[in-house]
Amino acid sequence: MKKTASILLTFIMLFSVAYSAPDLDAAVEKSVQYINSAVPSPNVSSIGGEWAVTALARSGAENQQEFFGKYYDNLVKKLTEKNGVLHDRKYTEYSRVILAVTAIGKNAENVSGYNLITPLCGFDNTVWQGINGAIWALIALDSGNYISENTEIRGKYIEKIISEQNPDGGWSLSDTGASDTDLTAMALTALAKYKNDEKISTAVNSAVEFLSNSQNENGGFSTYGTETSESVSQVIIALCALKIPQNDARFVKNGKTPYDNLMTYYDGNGGFYHDTDKSGSNQMASEQAFCALVSLKRFNENLCSIYDMTDVKIQDENANNTGLSGKNPDINVPGFSENRTFSDIIGNSAQNEIEALASRKIVNGKTDDIFAPDMPVTRAEFSALITRALGLVKAENVKNFDDVLADDWFFTPISVCANYGIVKGISDTEFNPNGFITNQETAVMLERAAKICGLENNISQDGARDILAVFEDYTASSDWAQNALAFCYKNDIFSDDTDLINPKSNAARGEIAVRIYNLLKTAKLI
């Protein structure tokens, strides 16, 4: 009896060793080698193309510039041949390419003169593919916090995704089909950024529960009754985007995590099998598994998720993102720090710009989850925003104001702004730091900030009136502000999407974010 028990224990131990998951870092390294071998010339393709490029770029693998260069050259060639049209109906082609382009540090808004973001601004064309189109369009737009021409498009995609969630918490490709794990995981990946929004949180939690309930006893997942490595790969990517660890109790079955299951498909040489038959490594399965491995590696290292590429330095091939020739050398615009959003800006016309600045820690929320885009901004707060936006720190030989004391939180930003001539007081002795800044005051300060960024205001008095004459209330603006207002409208720092300037109305936080973003963009600083 003891001998039998001993044999059984030995068998169990051997079985456990035999099925232990390979080391993650080693698997990633092998996958890098596999991709380099299997994809000698990456092209615009769902296999041997964007997924391979994206995963390779996000893996942190060294010495891959030749690989990325081949892909980019092939992409430019195809865009040139097709006059910028990747596909007439399948707009996931654009989404997939945007991810790859962004991952390698190129600007998807300007690939040899073609703006790949523009097609995704058309809702009807994008959702021709159904929910899949909306999912990947949202992921692509968010990958680099791209500013869409259609300011409402993100909200529309989110609404589309939420509206098609099934009662069981999952999603399906067809309107009447049963929920499947692949699409549900993809939807979760798209919504992960917005999970703190109350409405979206409900949908996310329901979908997570669906995936947990759908998980097989071996830790894997099936789609329409067939267990595949691609299914578990998509789940791993989604969980990492949601910051849910592999050992979360909801996703451990019989001691097996999704990662454990994925590695049962591993061939040991960087490739992965498609299904449990293991009839030979499958390139599509291998590329998707590589994405999952990279997602998990980045999760473990507390890095941005695989499709959150706000940590990538984007270089426009035709733009100088270091600024204009006449900029002050003290300017040092912050780089991306982390992907940020707020529950109360989703669908807001300023959402994209707020997120872009928040991801650089230029603007902050009122709380971790609330931005309050409609709240007015004080003169002191605006001074702080400008100093952070331009990375200015020098505060020398500045005029003292009676209402700006050395122990006030705003002493330094106001002093810095005054040092560079960006702000002045409302009198010789007062700054009015807690007074709300008006639209025309904002224009004046931004025009001064633009000057140290290398932008010159050469607008005459008559020219200013010509520019402002299209607005019904331009005569309500103060004489001292009209030239600056004209400058801001001419250079697209102020939006002209209404017929009113409202010059003496208080500027809101969302409006300020848009204007600061536009200044940085116009000055080629981002």
Task: Give yes or no: residues 291 and 353 share one domain.
Answer: no
Pick from 114, 139, 132, 134: which is nearest to 124 by CA?
A: 134
Report the SS3 class of residue 91. Answer: coil
Query: Distance between CA 340 and CA 354 in Å, rounded?
Result: 9
Instruction: Tell me the pLDDT band of 17, cut-offs 50, 70 and 90.
Output: very low
In this structure, what DSSP letter does residue 249 have? G
Give the chain's domain count. 2
> For 310-314, 333-337, 469-473, which range has the lowest pLDDT when averaged over its residues?
333-337
Structure-token pair, residue 143: 């990958």
Determine, yes or no, domain membership for 195: yes
Task: Give yes or no: residues 354 and 281 share one domain.
Answer: no
Across 324-336, b (16+ Cβ under 10 Å) vs e yields: beebeeebebeeb
Q: Is the sign of the CA dihedral 52, 54, 55, 56 positive or negative?
A: positive
The answer to whether the CB of 210 falls within 8 A of the CB of 168 is yes
Whether pLDDT at 238 is above 80: yes
Whether pLDDT at 112 is above 60: yes
Task: Give yes or no: residues 128 and 268 share one domain.
Answer: yes
Q: Which amino acid is present at 390?
A: L
What is the pLDDT at residue 20? 46
Instruction: Tell me the pLDDT band of 370, cut-offs 50, 70 and 90.
Output: very high
Task: Give yes or no: residues 405 and 271 share one domain.
Answer: no
Task: Give yes or no: residues 194 and 248 share one domain.
Answer: yes
Task: Give yes or no: residues 367 and 295 share one domain.
Answer: no
Whether pLDDT at 500 is above 60: yes
The answer to whether the CB of 447 falls within 8 A of the CB of 457 is yes
What is the pLDDT at residue 13? 37
Supply the CATH number for residue 32's domain: 1.50.10.20
Instruction: Tell me the pLDDT band of 15, cut-offs 50, 70 and 90.
Output: very low
Task: Give yes or no: residues 245 and 384 share one domain.
Answer: no
What is the pLDDT at residue 146? 87
Q: Is the sign of the CA dihedral 314, 319, 324, 325 positive or negative?
A: positive
Q: Residue 482: what are its φ and ψ, rounded to 5°?
A: -65, -40
Whether pLDDT at 315 is above 80: no
Average pLDDT over residues 155-181: 91
Query: Distance between CA 273 and CA 264 in Å, rounded?
Result: 9
Tell how far CA 513 is from the center of its chain: 17
Query: Distance between CA 101 and CA 373 in Å, rounded?
Result: 31
Whether pLDDT at 176 is above 80: no
- The interaxial angle of helices 153-163 and 181-191, nearest 10 deg, is 150
Determine, yes or no, domain membership for 333: no
In this structure, what DSSP letter does residue 302 have? T
Structure-token pair, residue 427: 């009198």
Determine, yes or no, domain membership for 319: no
Residue after which a domain boundary falls, among 300, 335, 355:
300
Residue after which a domain boundary falls, among 238, 269, 300:
300
> Locate tokens 């590696």: which residue?
297
The answer to whether the CB of 400 falls within 8 A of the CB of 408 is no
Determine, yes or no, domain membership for 198: yes
Determine, yes or no, domain membership for 317: no
Query: Distance between CA 183 and CA 239 in Å, rounded?
Result: 13
Instruction: Tell me the pLDDT band of 147, cut-offs 50, 70 and 90.
Output: confident
Instruction: Tell me the pLDDT band of 323, cut-offs 50, 70 and 90.
Output: confident
pLDDT tens sequence across 69-100: 999 999 999 999 999 999 988 999 999 999 99
Pick from 170, 165, 95, 86: which is nearest to 134 by CA?
A: 95
What is the pLDDT at residue 320? 54
pLDDT tens sequence across 385-398: 999 999 998 877 67
Structure-token pair, residue 372: 């309050």
Instruction: Tell me the pLDDT band of 305, cut-offs 50, 70 and 90.
Output: very high
Q: Which amino acid is present at 286?
A: S
Task: Give yes or no: residues 184 and 250 share one domain.
Answer: yes
Residue after which a domain boundary falls, among 270, 300, 330:
300
Instruction: Give whichever of 54-58, 331-335, 358-362, 408-412 has the largest mean pLDDT.
Output: 54-58
Residues contacting residue 70 through CB under 8 Å, at least 6 positions apart = 41, 42
Instruction: Tell me the pLDDT band of 1, cut-offs 50, 70 and 90.
Output: very low
Q: What share of the chain is helix, strand, coil (3-state, %, to 5)?
A: 50, 5, 45
Mean pLDDT of the chain: 90
Query: Distance between CA 201 and CA 297 in Å, rounded?
Result: 25
Task: Give yes or no: residues 136 and 230 share one domain.
Answer: yes
What is the pLDDT at residue 145? 84
Task: Give yes or no: residues 158 and 272 share one domain.
Answer: yes
pTM: 0.74
> For 233-242, 439-448, 478-487, 490-499, which range has the lowest pLDDT when averaged over its residues?
490-499
What percentage of the chain carries pLDDT values higher than 90?
Answer: 73
Determine, yes or no, domain membership for 335: no
Determine, yes or no, domain membership for 15: no
Domain range for 246 is: 22-300
Task: Give yes or no: residues 365 and 503 share one domain.
Answer: yes
pLDDT tens sequence across 182-205: 999 999 999 999 998 888 999 999
pLDDT tens sequence across 218-227: 999 998 888 9
Determine, yes or no, domain membership for 349: yes
- The interaxial angle of helices 283-300 and 50-59, nearest 10 deg, is 30
Task: Give yes or no: residues 129 and 270 share one domain.
Answer: yes
pLDDT tens sequence across 327-352: 899 999 887 777 788 989 988 889 98
Average pLDDT over residues 372-384: 95
